[in-house]
Chain A
Amino acid sequence: MKTSELIALLAAADGAPVRPVSPVPALIAAGVVGAVLALAALALTLGFQPLGAAARASWFWMKALYSLATALAGLLLLGRLARPGVAPRAAAMVIGLAALAAMAMMAAHAAMRAPADAQPALWLGQTSRLCSLRILLLAIPAFAAEITVVRRFAPTRLRQAGAAAGLMAGGLSAVVYGLYCQESAAPFVAVWYSLGMAACAFIGGLTGPRLLRW
């Protein structure tokens, strides 16, 4: 086929009007779907902690905010990366890094005030061996939903887009997991929550080029 023929073909047959769409609303919807699925999975397996008491504790909101900020950073990055020729904006990085820095500072503050024999409890808590893994598992539905959305768009940096999808899914998953997890120490959150979300982003980056090709 000659190129001129292809052009005529494209313009004539498939030239229906299209409206420019932003990926962000669809990504938010996908995130909500994924989070609800994760919520259901959590309810069926581990259950929730007593939420009435938890909602009065500052550590509960600290975890939720930290995770939500990470998800937001992932969303903003992904919203840009889903389209060709749009560089990721610094704002997303700033949100993500600010959340990480605030978390690290709280962790350092708590760790420095505590006596030496209390340190293991602060850093490891009761569930350190499972926390990151569970966050990773709970992120699967949101990750799948986001990838489906991004595929409809035209990402040209597949590795970055995959990592951003992983980060957003990881953040959402950590928000959901916070409804079960009773760990209250900032150092624990700074290490294991961050590790779980980073693992999500890492796996997203690994699988992105394969999952997002078009």
Chain B
Amino acid sequence: MVAAQAGDAGAQTRLLTLLAGYLRGYFARRLAGQGADVEDLVQEALLAIHLKRATFDPRFAFTPWALAIARYKLVDHYRRRGGRRNLPLEDAGELLAVENPEEGAVRRDIGTLLGRLPPRQRALMTDVKLTGHSMEEAAARAGMSVTAAKVAVHRAMRRLMKEVADEDL
């Protein structure tokens, strides 16, 4: 986590992957039989852990910090679902049959989200994140300097995260 705070992308990937496993177990134990929700929550918690990484103080233990966020997301999830907590069993079975949690069946489709970005940002994001162009190539395709492209991608990411967060309200 300390390396991740320092901006080490490799450490961030390792940390988040490791956490994803723990979180999946944590949420699965508490949300028996709602696989898709579990994967949603895992992603939300990972996003929160990433966005709020500056609030982790290395002098304290890491686990309570991450668990508090996971717990917060779980409570938030319960609150959002409110009355629908007692889903009839046959419905639950149906839902599970349609959505395969292993495939990361998630309701938020990345295409829909990207559609809400302005065209330039969308093109950049698609090039860099989906089709796998390098930042330099994408910048050239968009006719921008590399720095400008980086800034635009960063802004697009922030905006997407905000959209996702707003959607959850």
Contacts and interface: CB of A to CB of B under 8 A. Distances in A.
Contacts of A154: 48, 52, 55, 69, 72
A16 B157 contact: no
A10 B54 contact: no
Interface stretch (B11-19, B86-94, B140-148): B11-19
B66 A7 contact: no
Interface stretch (B28-36, B39-47, B115-123): B39-47
B16 A83 contact: no
B104 A9 contact: no
Interface string A1-19: 1111111111111111111
B104 A20 contact: no
Contacts of B17: 4, 7
Given A82-B55, A85-B60, A7 B103 contact: no
Contacts of B69: 84-85, 154, 156
B15 to A, nearest CB: 9
A83 B53 CA distance: 10
Nearest to A153: B55
Nearest to A18: B54
A194 to B, nearest CB: 31
B53 A7 contact: no
Contacts of B8: 15
A153 B67 contact: no
Interface string B1-14: 00011111110110
A19 B55 contact: no
Interface in A160-178: none
Interface residues of B, number: 54
Contacts of B158: 14
Contacts of A12: 9, 129
Contacts of A14: 50-51, 154, 157-158, 161
A94 interface: no
29 contacts: A1-B109, A2-B106, A3-B43, A3-B104, A4-B17, A7-B16, A8-B13, A9-B129, A10-B50, A11-B10, A14-B50, A14-B51, A17-B5, A18-B7, A18-B54, A19-B5, A20-B56, A23-B55, A82-B55, A83-B55, A83-B57, A83-B65, A84-B65, A84-B69, A85-B65, A85-B68, A154-B52, A154-B72, A213-B169
